[in-house]
């Protein structure tokens, strides 16, 4: 089961890779589709792994999941030769390692990037993409009003992922880290979210809604923002580096008219949320050896090189970023590498541990309340600070998050309460809430 499955191009390519694997090894692979968003995928995975399901054997693992799923995944060090592990970016191996166990082998590198329309920048007299958020606002406003005046009535300056979802956590983290507002929790697990810089960053984004960004941006997930951008209806897009593949595809109206750059800086510099995924093996698999061969194949050098012969996700092997042949088909790689090297920002998965999904949900709900003007930013930040402190302090909750779920009834004011829940005989699975 693979989280990137939702893309048609990806399915086509992966089917080709799997047939090659089947031919080489005689091992048959059945492919299972995954739901659209990372949160729904995690819910499915937790159900399957928590109930001891024998299949899938191999799971696509988002960079934020190792700490949550580790108990149900095998240590890959028994299946993958050490030098093949060491060929990946050490930061990605570290992100996928929990208590010394490597629970997923990286397969692609992803991070937040700014996509911009080269033709429109030129038309409005700009030589380069915006360096700061202020510049982005000025350029977006000017291009938007110019395009509307020349008949493109539904044109917008800047689209991004504002739906209450993990993607909003990623966007908002970039806004606040670029202002020096911290990463929600610091490395010791201390909640740092209620500070003036974070509040300012959220307030600025709230001002975008309905001015340079469509009012509906607060309901956009990756595909919604990407569709609008690909239809030529926006000057700038915040998305993942992985969006680049679809944007160069035959069906994209602006395939020859865009480029990517680092996201703009705030007072403290630039920030790009680290994303991407790898592959891990279920501890309940009846075929761990064969599953290990598949993981090794999918994340290994040969397949990453083959993928790079077409436009593809950024690889996880530093070596592939200097090969001129691969750079010719993937001119985006140097930009992705530069952003990664200059410090892509990790979500606070290490300090939140198994509580990360709850921390992230509370965070995106707070930010969403600000974007939709249900709360002021100072109010939302202060309530979120308290909610996270309570959530992380509760001794019962920490470390056993999969036994705890937040209880929030509709119409409930204030932060959710946490209650131990019982899940019958299996007792392990708690599907994350869908609000
Ligand atoms: C992308 C990233 C992943 C992130 C997700 C959020 O798929 O690669 O890390 O969690 O977007 O929607």
SS in 3 state form for 107-125?
EEEEEEEEEEEHHHHHHCC
For the domain that residue 119 is a member of, what is the CATH number? 3.40.190.10
* Residue 275 in contact with ligand 1 by CB distance below 6 A: yes
Q: Give the mean pLDDT of 352-376.
A: 98
- Give pLDDT, residue 8: 76
Note whether residue 322 is domain-resident: no
Note whether residue 9 is domain-resident: no
Tell me the C-alpha distance between 277 and 296, whole Å: 14
Note whether residue 422 is domain-resident: no
Q: Give the mean pLDDT of 4-29.
A: 88
Q: Give the mean pLDDT of 102-106.
A: 98
Contact 116, 258 (CB under 8 A): yes
Note whether residue 279 is domain-resident: no
CA 383 vs. chain centroid, Å, equals 25
- Give pLDDT, residue 4: 65
- Give pLDDT, residue 5: 58
Note whether residue 164 is domain-resident: yes
Burial of 373 (0-12, 13-18, 19+ CB in 10 A): exposed
pLDDT digits (tens, 9 = 90+) for 17-32: 999 999 999 999 998 8
Q: How far is the CA of 147 from the centre of ligand 1 (A)?
A: 31
Note whether residue 385 is domain-resident: yes
Q: Give the mean pLDDT of 367-380.
A: 98
- Give pLDDT, residue 428: 26
Paired tokens of 119: 């033709």
Q: How far is the CA of 26 from the centre of ligand 1 (A)?
A: 33
Residue with the smallest CA separation from ligand 1 atom 3 is 275
* CA atoms within 13 Å, Cβ hemisphere of 129: 22
Q: What is the DSSP letter of 3?
A: G
Place of tokens 């000025």: 138
pLDDT digits (tens, 9 = 90+) for 158-210: 999 999 999 999 999 999 999 999 999 999 999 999 999 999 999 999 999 99
Number of domains in the chain: 1
- Give pLDDT, residue 424: 30
Residue with the smallest CA separation from ligand 1 atom 2 is 275
Note whether residue 15 is domain-resident: no
Q: How high does pLDDT run on average in the chain?
A: 90
**Residue 290 pLDDT exceeds 70:** yes
Tell me the C-alpha distance between 137 and 121, whole Å: 13
pTM over 0.75: yes
Q: How far is the CA of 124 from the centre of ligand 1 (A)?
A: 33
**Residue 281 pLDDT exceeds 80:** yes
Residue 133 three-state SS: helix
Q: pLDDT exceeding 70 applies to what percent of the chain?
A: 89
Residue ranges making up the domain that contains 135: 111-273+358-392
Q: Give the mean pLDDT of 232-238.
A: 98
Helix-strand-coil percent breakdown of the chain, rounded to 5?
45, 15, 35
Note whether residue 58 is domain-resident: no
**Residue 420 pLDDT exceeds 90:** no
**Residue 265 pLDDT exceeds 90:** yes
Contact 89, 336 (CB under 8 A): no
* Residue 266 in contact with ligand 1 by CB distance below 6 A: no
pLDDT digits (tens, 9 = 90+) for 297-317: 999 999 999 999 998 999 999
């Amino acid at each position: 089961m693979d989280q990137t499955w939702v893309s048609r191009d990806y399915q086509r390519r992966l089917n080709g890779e799997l047939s090659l694997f089947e031919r080489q090894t005689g091992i048959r692979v059945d492919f299972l589709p995954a739901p659209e968003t990372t949160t729904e995928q995690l819910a499915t995975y937790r159900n399957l792994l928590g109930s001891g399901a024998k299949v899938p054997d191999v799971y696509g693992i988002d960079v934020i999941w190792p700490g949550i799923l580790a108990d149900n995944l095998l240590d890959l060090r028994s299946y993958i030769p050490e030098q093949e592990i060491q060929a990946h970016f050490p930061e990605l191996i570290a992100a996928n390692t929990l208590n010394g166990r490597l629970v997923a082998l990286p397969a692609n590198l992803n991070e937040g990037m700014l996509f911009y329309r080269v033709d429109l920048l030129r038309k409005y007299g700009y030589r380069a993409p915006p360096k700061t958020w202020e510049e982005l606002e000025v350029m977006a406003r000017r291009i938007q009003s110019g395009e509307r005046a020349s008949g493109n009535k539904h044109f917008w300056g800047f689209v991004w992922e504002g739906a209450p979802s993990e993607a909003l956590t990623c966007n908002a983290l970039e806004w606040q880290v670029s202002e020096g507002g911290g990463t929600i929790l610091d490395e010791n697990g201390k909640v740092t979210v209620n500070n003036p810089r974070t509040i300012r960053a959220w307030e600025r984004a709230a001002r975008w809604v309905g001015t340079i960004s469509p009012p509906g941006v607060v309901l956009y997930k990756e595909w919604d923002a990407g569709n609008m951008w690909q239809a030529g209806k926006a000057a700038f897009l915040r998305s993942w580096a992985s969006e680049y593949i679809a944007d160069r595809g035959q069906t994209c109206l602006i395939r020859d008219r865009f480029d990517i750059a680092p996201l703009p800086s705030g007072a403290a510099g630039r920030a790009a949320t680290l994303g991407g995924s790898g592959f891990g093996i279920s501890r309940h698999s009846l075929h761990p050896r064969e599953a290990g061969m598949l993981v090794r194949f999918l994340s290994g050098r040969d397949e990453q090189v083959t993928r790079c012969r077409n436009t593809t996700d950024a690889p996880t092997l530093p070596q592939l970023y200097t090969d001129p042949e691969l750079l010719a088909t993937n001119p985006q790689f140097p930009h992705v590498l530069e952003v990664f090297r200059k410090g892509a920002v990790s979500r606070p998965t290490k300090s939140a541990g198994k509580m990360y999904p709850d921390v992230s949900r509370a965070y995106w709900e707070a930010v969403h309340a600000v974007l939709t003007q249900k709360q002021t930013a100072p109010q939302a930040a202060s309530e979120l600070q308290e909610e996270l402190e309570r959530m992380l302090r509760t001794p019962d909750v920490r470390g056993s998050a999969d036994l705890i779920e937040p209880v929030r009834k509709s119409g409930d004011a204030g932060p959710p309460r946490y209650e131990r829940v019982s899940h019958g005989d299996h007792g392990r699975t708690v599907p994350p809430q869908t609000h």
